[in-house]
Chains A and B, each alone.
Chain A
Amino acid sequence: MIAIESLSKRFPRVTALDRLTVGIEPGVTGLVGANGAGKSTLIKILLGLSPATEGSATVLGMDVATQGGAIRERVGYMPEHDCLPPDVSATEFVVHMARMSGLPATAARERTADTLRHVGLYEERYRPMGGYSTGMKQRVKLAQALVHDPRLVLLDEPTNGLDPVGRDEMLGLIRRVHSDFGISVLVTSHLLGELERTSDHIVVIDGGKLLRSSSTADFTQRTAVLAVEVTDTDTHPDGAAALREALRQAGVALHEPGPDGGRAPGAGHLVTLDAADESVYDTVRDAAAGLGLGLVRMEQRRHQISEVFTERSAGDVA
């Protein structure tokens, strides 16, 4: 989809991208980095709108330096900032943008109706956009990026300004852009944890440099975590501690309660451990039974990406 090769972008006072090399495959890819990490700069270069200082990049096999026009015909872009005129309706606006992408008038109208429906805008699409909520505006912005049926969309901070519900809806929609529409997605966020359920692959950049690029499944599955909650008994007033001790002796890799372990309600009763394979479940069951503890729950959790990265980047990316 995208191949980035030793790409640098230097502004007079800052280096926005610093010899970045990364490949991006079809699917949903999250591009994560703190504010100023160079995410938006990278998107502008990928659209062929801003020349790189050095290095090269191709999008859909086309060179960003020489084939920008052809790239932009088959790529959609959703900017991070507001970009909607308030006195125009979503329908009129998206039809116009479809025509700007080269769609004939009739096709532009049909695609607009389809696309607005797919992003979840119904009757309100005929009203001026000035009266829309942030969530609705974000949907129109997404619709104009999808209306010409691109092969790839570049979404710059699509969840910015949304409340938690709106954010989840937007993330679900982004997932659908790939799973249902078959369009690959590069989506940016300055929040590390946000894209993990949405993305197949995560690229983390910091200060214009690549920090990490790996498949989401890769590190979330590799580090599948089992959380176990047990009751306390008279013999074991701290059931969790007793279980922890028993499991440690059985050779299970336990997670030490984190620094925030005490904060979450009931966290003290939780024993978390790496579920390397199926036998761990039996070990836990046997250990709990041996101690006479009641098993309240035993659930599999995925590691949060942020936890995976905390050791590496000392939390400054999140």
Chain B
Amino acid sequence: MSPDRTPAHTTSPHAVPGQAAPGQWEQSGSAGAAGRGQDVIHNIGYRGYEGPRLGRGYARRALFTQALRGAYGLGRSAKSKVLPMLLFATMCVPAALVVAIAVFAKSKDLQVTYSEYVLLMQPIIGIYLAAAAPQAFSLDLRFRTTPLYFSRPLTRGDYVAAKYAALTAALFVFTAVPLLIMYVGALLAKLGVAHQTEKFAQGLVFCALFALLHAAIAAWIAALTPRRGFGVAAIIVAITVPYFLVSALQGIAATTDKNTAIGWLGVGSPGTLLDGVQSKFLGGPSGFPAAQTLDAAQGAVYLVVLVALLACFTTLLLRRYRKAGL
């Protein structure tokens, strides 16, 4: 295979004037764009690359980092930073207020627990997700950039894994940083280290579950809707409509005293599912009507459904890319 690496200046039996002469092309090619002074640069010959090729694992990590940064508009135009940064600030300011209120009211605990805070901020998180997921998944499909990835050592699985992990991480940061603000504030206000640490840790677990599930759903929708704007709308609908529907049904169940029904209905939307999980397993207060909590059977079902949804949406996402070939 080595002979082909030797520059073969003489192999062209049909060098046509102005066609194959090295150097000549670049000058005509840059006509209009390049200035005079660049002729010197032109003549630097081609240099091969003998350095390391770091392979799939490295490419996956690089793609993860790029997509994670992209979810906050980093490494993109100034305009793309505005929305994520604005939303991120909107996420953090109320957390600081929660701390301030606890300090001024001299209360023994924060008025809002960690996981509860995430659930309360769902509208903001939804908007962020609806912007970030299409950014991570739709653009490469819309502009047909995916073939360039798949023509490299990276596999489709690597691509999906890196992007999904990045969206999950972005969402985790989006929800966990406000909790960190609350936690640091609570410690500064001397609200009881052990208790706060336990609740904060539970809050972080909740953020992770929240991010994993929501990123999977949003990623799949975004990968199905390459067209501009469609993904944004579809994700907002997918996250809010089931949530309000389930909440409304739970409200009806509460007024008719069917309290176990409230628990069962909660499996029906990602938001209520996660609410049930955190009140049952992560020490948070229930956001359900009548502060209904789950019994043991319901708890088990919630966990099974959570895992099933994760498996389902990540599989669907992967399947989507099996088709999106070159």
Residues of A within 8 A of B (CB): 1, 26-27, 40, 43-44, 47, 49-50, 60-61, 69-70, 72-73, 75-77, 79, 81-88, 92, 96-97, 99-105, 107, 111, 114, 117-120, 122-124, 128, 144, 148-149, 151-152, 168-169, 171-173, 175-176, 178-184, 196-197, 200, 216-217, 220-221, 302
State whether the Cβ of B297 lies closer than 8 Å to any Cβ in chain A: no
Residues of B within 8 A of A (CB): 1, 3-9, 11-14, 16, 19-20, 22, 25-26, 28-30, 33-34, 38, 41-42, 44-49, 51-56, 58-59, 62-63, 66, 75-77, 80, 139-140, 143-145, 147-155, 325-326
Query: Provided the pairs A82-B143, A101-B59 are in contact, do residues A73 and B54 lie with their beta carbons within 8 angstroms?
Result: no
Check if A169 sits within 8 Å of B29, measured CB to CB.
Answer: yes
Q: From A79, A148, A172, give the contact of B25 (CB < 8 A).
A: A172
Q: From A76, A85, A111, give the contact of B143 (CB < 8 A).
A: A85
Task: State the CA gap A183–B52 with chains docked (Å).
Answer: 18
Chain B residues, CB < 8 A from A76? 151
Check if B3 sits within 8 Å of A92, measured CB to CB.
Answer: no
Check if B22 sits within 8 Å of A72, measured CB to CB.
Answer: no
Check if B325 sits within 8 Å of A175, measured CB to CB.
Answer: no
Check if A102 sits within 8 Å of B54, measured CB to CB.
Answer: yes
Closest to B58 in A: A102
Check if B1 sits within 8 Å of A60, measured CB to CB.
Answer: yes
Q: Give 6 closest A-B pairs by Cβ, nearest first.
A: A26-B4, A120-B29, A149-B49, A77-B151, A102-B53, A217-B13
Chain A residues, CB < 8 A from B47? 114
Check if A79 sits within 8 Å of B148, measured CB to CB.
Answer: yes
Q: From A79, A97, A102, A216, give the contact of B153 (CB < 8 A).
A: A102
Chain A residues, CB < 8 A from B46? 114, 118, 180-182
Chain B residues, CB < 8 A from A144? 148
Chain B residues, CB < 8 A from A123? 33-34
Instruction: Please list 10 pairs of residues, one from A and one from B, whose beta carbons are closer than 8 Å in the complex, sorted by A's number.
Output: A50-B326, A76-B151, A85-B140, A86-B143, A148-B53, A151-B4, A179-B11, A181-B46, A182-B46, A302-B14
Query: Provided the pairs A27-B4, A176-B22, A182-B6 are in contact, do residues A83 and B29 lie with their beta carbons within 8 angstroms?
Result: no
- Not counting A73-B55, A105-B62, A171-B19, a sample of 4 additional A-B residue pairs whose C-beta atoms are within 8 angstroms of each other reads A26-B4, A27-B11, A107-B52, A220-B13
Closest to B156 in A: A49
Chain B residues, CB < 8 A from A302? 14
Check if B143 sits within 8 Å of A47, measured CB to CB.
Answer: no
Task: State the CA gap A99–B57 with chains docked (Å).
Answer: 11
Task: State the CA gap A106–B24 with chains docked (Å).
Answer: 30
Check if B29 sits within 8 Å of A182, measured CB to CB.
Answer: no
Check if B76 sits within 8 Å of A73, measured CB to CB.
Answer: no
Query: Provided the pairs A104-B51, A107-B51 are in contact, do residues A79 and B22 lie with their beta carbons within 8 angstroms?
Result: no
Chain A residues, CB < 8 A from B1? 1, 60-61, 151
Check if A69 sits within 8 Å of B56, measured CB to CB.
Answer: yes
Check if B8 sits within 8 Å of A100, measured CB to CB.
Answer: no
Check if B8 sits within 8 Å of A178, measured CB to CB.
Answer: yes
Check if B22 sits within 8 Å of A180, measured CB to CB.
Answer: yes
Check if B22 sits within 8 Å of A179, measured CB to CB.
Answer: yes
Question: Which has the most chain A C-beta neighbours within 10 Å: B3, B46, B152?
Answer: B152
Check if B52 sits within 8 Å of A104, measured CB to CB.
Answer: yes
Check if B59 sits within 8 Å of A100, measured CB to CB.
Answer: yes
Chain B residues, CB < 8 A from A217? 13-14
Chain A residues, CB < 8 A from B22? 176, 179-180
Query: Provided the pairs A82-B143, A118-B46 are in contact, do residues A196 and B30 lie with their beta carbons within 8 angstroms?
Result: no
Query: Provided the pairs A73-B53, A180-B22 are in contact, do residues A49 and B150 lie with their beta carbons within 8 angstroms?
Result: yes
Check if A182 sits within 8 Å of B19, measured CB to CB.
Answer: no
Task: State the CA gap A148–B148 with chains docked (Å).
Answer: 13
Query: Provided the pairs A104-B52, A172-B19, A220-B14 are in contact, do residues A26 and B326 lie with their beta carbons within 8 angstroms?
Result: no
Task: State the CA gap A169–B150 with chains docked (Å).
Answer: 28
